Structure 1
Amino acid sequence: MKKTLLYCLAIGLWSCSTGTTDQTNSALPMDELAERYVKTVLQLGQYNSDVVDAYYGPEEWKPTTTPLDTLPAYALLNELSAIQQELAKQDTAGLNEMDKRRILMLQKQVLATATKIELMDGRKLSFDEEAKLLYDAQPPHQQQAYYDSLLQEIDSMLPGKGTVADRWANYRAKFEIPKSKLDTVFQAAIQEARKRTLAHYKLPKNENFKVEFVTDKPWSGYNYYKGNGYSLIQINTDFPIYMERAIDLACHEGYPGHHVFNALLEQELVNKRGWKEFSVYPLFSPQSLIAEGSANYGIEVAFPEQERIQFEKEVLFPLAGLNAAEADRYYTLLEKIGKLNFAGNEAARMYLDGKISREQAADWIVKYNFYEKDKALQRTQFIDRYRSYVINYNLGQQLVRQHIEMHGGTADNPEKRWELFGELLSKPNTASTLK
């Protein structure tokens, strides 16, 4: 029966219980459906701490009962099916674009939540099936030969002897930020990113953030949005942090990335429009592809290539006590290596689909993403925990870039790029609607 419910949710046959589609009765108000959806997501979050990434809605909507010993999958799926059934009844004739977006976005978020319940309840999906249902996106495939050709190109650019990964590690060591300088460098990077963002966007007056350095995490950085314009940003120091990561993390986790994305959604959709479904952020949902993709693309929005290199040479390198003489060459290599990013998705796909072992997945990540072996094994722990979520970073960035540039937000038109990027962050968007 559970499989039938998810099937119905996926293909749009919302009246699963009767096998018919009844759209003759008027639909329930969207605000009522939003409340039911939020409460369902919060209830699901009691069984998996990763499900609810952020919540800043009414306190009384939080669950007040003790979670059951086992996940009430059938009851939760039935509720989501009922919500989806009501969403299908909504009369879209005469609605403006934003209201239509609202309905479509909630439909896709409901489907993703149902999929997550199924996965938590033991259902097996392939990597690609899971990604499509959770994130509304179709992951691309690349042959191994493609990545091998990129390796050959990078091989010719690196000094020394040995594997490409070893030579890159040796070369990169000179760009490691000393731990004693991390806070100073990161604070300078995030304050500059904030200044550049505030020059284009009006954020809540009280927006703010706190930075913490932590260890023993499966990720390199995380933004915990607390609501009311406030974020806790954590940076993992288990492994070396290199110069480029200062701006990467400052923008991705802060400005104009996750912190700004969440603040604008809260300001524009929750506070101004009263769309309470956006007061909860379910991590395993289409919202995450936009969140991660925009956070990565936002780096180049805030710091176009030459401006970034100049700022790092003049400000961050001196603060870190590092020599900036090789900065240009370093960033040329980073650009080439960045093209290998999707190789990590292939490792996750093969590993989660049971085609390779954890050890083989780590070896693939060492070879094509130049991770040290212990960090590559840590990356497999991230894959275990977050699964197909990995597509959101690179595929999300690709889709966001294509959307912005298609509408005129190219590198030679930075003001238009900021404008379109701000619109993207302030409206309901999902992968299939980015056109």
Structure 2
Amino acid sequence: MKIRNIVSTAALAAALMLGSTAAAQPARTASSELLDRVAEDFVRMTLEAGEREPGYVDAYYGPVHLMDTAKAAPRPVSVLRKEADRLMTLVVAAKDKQLSPDERRRKLFLKGQIKAAQTRLAMIAGDKFSFEDEAQGLFGVRPVIKPLKSYDPILARIDKLVPGKGDLAARVDAFQNRYVIPTDKVEAVMQAGIAACKAKTEEHIKLPASERFDLEFVTKKPWSGYNWYKGDAHSLIQINTDLPIYISRALDLGCHEGYPGHHVLNTLLEEKLTKGKGWVEFSVYPLFSPQSFIAEGSANFGIELAFPGKAKTDFERDKLYPLAGLDPKTAEAYGALQDAKAALSSSGNTIAALYLSGKMTKEQAVQALMKYTLYSRGGAEKRVSFIETYRSYVINYNIGQDMVRDYVYRAGKTQDARWKAMERVISEPTVPADLRK
């Protein structure tokens, strides 16, 4: 996950000003210039929307004067909705035949971001959407909501993996509690996990020499981890310690929030698009947009890409278990449970849809999450809090991961081919429809 308005240095802001030139720009056409104008107005609108809804803007590292103006005089939501409609009309008017292939992708990206703004601004104004319509409007993908009973066979398989009798969720909770990282060892284990994820990523993707992150532990958040991108290839990665942190989370969070996840995606977009092409729209990240579908999906798949097959369990057993003071001989049993639980991920979409539509009470949602995602009660309550805050955002993790995986795997069977495909996803103006090609 991610969220905050962040402004970078004046040097970067100056480089993004309209009229600045990136190296070797193609010939400009009326439609190219139209996209430039739409992009800057999109940034203005997004920053002002961020003043109307806390959390709307996940990160910003563009021109300082645009942020200053948004803070000083944000337009009312009713006016911002009209502005989003105006920008959609303009971006559609850009003629494809006047645009380079890269610019046509830029146009599609802007259309998706503006459609998301139209949807979110309507929600802020009080309009109601079904779960599916909301997800499609915000993230560019219409989720298929499966009935909860379709996950029962998966639960039956997991039941055979967990020792003991009685309630499965309680047994899973008791089993997993053997794998909690002791509080005094969390930082060392997390740092080791992130370092391993970075090393795997740097074998395949060249990162700026200046890229870096800070690690911070926090409490009282609805998420387990968050990347706050600050610009200039710098991230703040926060880990929530409200609940116990299991040994599997070290690589999960290290890859998801860091490498090749959110930190790498934002770093590459800044380097290649914001600075490289002068596309100012990439300097702002509206959380409720197709950009998040790509970000969360690629970050989740990045774990599997960096540590395919048994590699994750093997690394945890050999490197992280000793650091955490856990018994390495039990790593395979825990890894098998985590792999089996992954098949339950999309059940959370069904529970979120039912809860947000009023077809489940809060307690029923907690109970359903305990049964179908095998959370502890505390974990289920935390997840409901996440659903209440981010709503249909939940689809980005599982549907996004599945679509990124399918796209990357179609690129070939070698790790080199798959990493090259992943780099395309996280460094280009990728939209969800691109993942189906």
TM-score between the two structures when normalised by the length of structure 1: 0.91
Q: Structure 1: state its 5+ residue gaps.
A: 1-24
Does 2:37 align with 1:36?
no
Does 2:420 align with 1:419?
yes
Matching of residues 71-110 of structure 1 within 5 Å = 72-93=76-97, 95-110=99-114
SS of the residue aligned with 1:93?
A: helix
Shift of 1:404: 1.0
The 2-side partners of 1:369 and 1:423 are apart by: 32
2:17 counterpart residue number: none
The letter of the residue matching 2:211 is E
The 2-side partners of 1:183 and 1:379 are apart by: 24
SS of the residue aligned with 1:325?
A: helix
Contact 1:127 1:352 in 2 (8 A): yes
Shift of 1:141: 2.0
The letter of the residue matching 1:163 is D
The 2-side partners of 1:134 and 1:371 are apart by: 27
Bigger Cα displacement from structure 2, 375-384 vs 294-303: 375-384
The 1-side partners of 2:342 and 2:71 are apart by: 46
Bigger Cα displacement from structure 2, 144-153 vs 421-430: 144-153
The 1:355/1:67 distance shift into structure 2, 3 A limit, reads: farther
Shift of 1:143: 2.1
Shift of 1:430: 1.5
SS of the residue aligned with 1:339?
A: helix
Shift of 1:74: 2.0
Does 2:61 align with 1:56?
yes
The 2-side partners of 1:183 and 1:141 are apart by: 38
The 1-side partners of 2:70 and 2:159 are apart by: 58
SS of the residue aligned with 1:260?
A: helix
The 1:41/1:150 distance shift into structure 2, 3 A limit, reads: same
Does 2:323 align with 1:319?
yes
Which of 371, 383, 388 lines up with 2:387 in the alignment? 383
Shift of 1:98: 1.4
Contact 2:47 2:70 in 1 (8 A): no
The 1:66/1:233 distance shift into structure 2, 3 A limit, reads: closer
Contact 1:154 1:336 in 2 (8 A): yes
Contact 2:117 2:138 in 1 (8 A): yes
Bigger Cα displacement from structure 2, 148-157 vs 90-99: 90-99
1:206 counterpart residue number: 210
The 2-side partners of 1:155 and 1:312 are apart by: 24
Deviations 1:350-386 (A, max 9, x none): 0111111111111100111111223212211111110
Matching of residues 139-158 of structure 1 within 5 Å = 139-158=143-162
The letter of the residue matching 2:64 is E
Contact 2:145 2:350 in 1 (8 A): yes
The 1:35/1:68 distance shift into structure 2, 3 A limit, reads: closer
**Corresponding residue pairs, total:** 407
The letter of the residue matching 1:424 is V
1:164 counterpart residue number: 168
2:429 counterpart residue number: 428
SS of the residue aligned with 1:397?
A: helix
Shift of 1:27: 8.2
The 1-side partners of 2:425 and 2:72 are apart by: 37
Shift of 1:156: 2.0
Contact 1:27 1:89 in 2 (8 A): no
The 1-side partners of 2:90 and 2:216 are apart by: 43
Shift of 1:31: 1.4
The 2-side partners of 1:290 and 1:65 are apart by: 27
SS of the residue aligned with 2:238?
A: strand
1:6 counterpart residue number: none
SS of the residue aligned with 2:239?
A: strand
Contact 2:52 2:77 in 1 (8 A): no
Does 2:271 align with 1:267?
yes
Which of 225, 231, 237 lines up with 2:229 in the alignment? 225
Contact 2:147 2:350 in 1 (8 A): no
The 2-side partners of 1:349 and 1:145 are apart by: 15
Shift of 1:286: 0.3
The 1:142/1:66 distance shift into structure 2, 3 A limit, reads: closer
Contact 2:261 2:302 in 1 (8 A): yes
Contact 2:210 2:233 in 1 (8 A): yes
Contact 2:32 2:98 in 1 (8 A): no
2:286 counterpart residue number: 282
Contact 2:261 2:295 in 1 (8 A): yes
1:3 counterpart residue number: none
2:15 counterpart residue number: none
Bigger Cα displacement from structure 2, 87-96 vs 207-216: 87-96
SS of the residue aligned with 2:97?
A: coil
The 2-side partners of 1:34 and 1:157 are apart by: 52
Contact 2:31 2:98 in 1 (8 A): no
Superposed CA RMSD: 1.6
Contact 1:317 1:323 in 2 (8 A): yes
Shift of 1:332: 1.3
Which of 133, 136, 140 lines up with 2:137 in the alignment? 133
**Identity within the alignment, %:** 44
2:9 counterpart residue number: none
Matching of residues 3-42 of structure 1 within 5 Å = 29-42=34-47
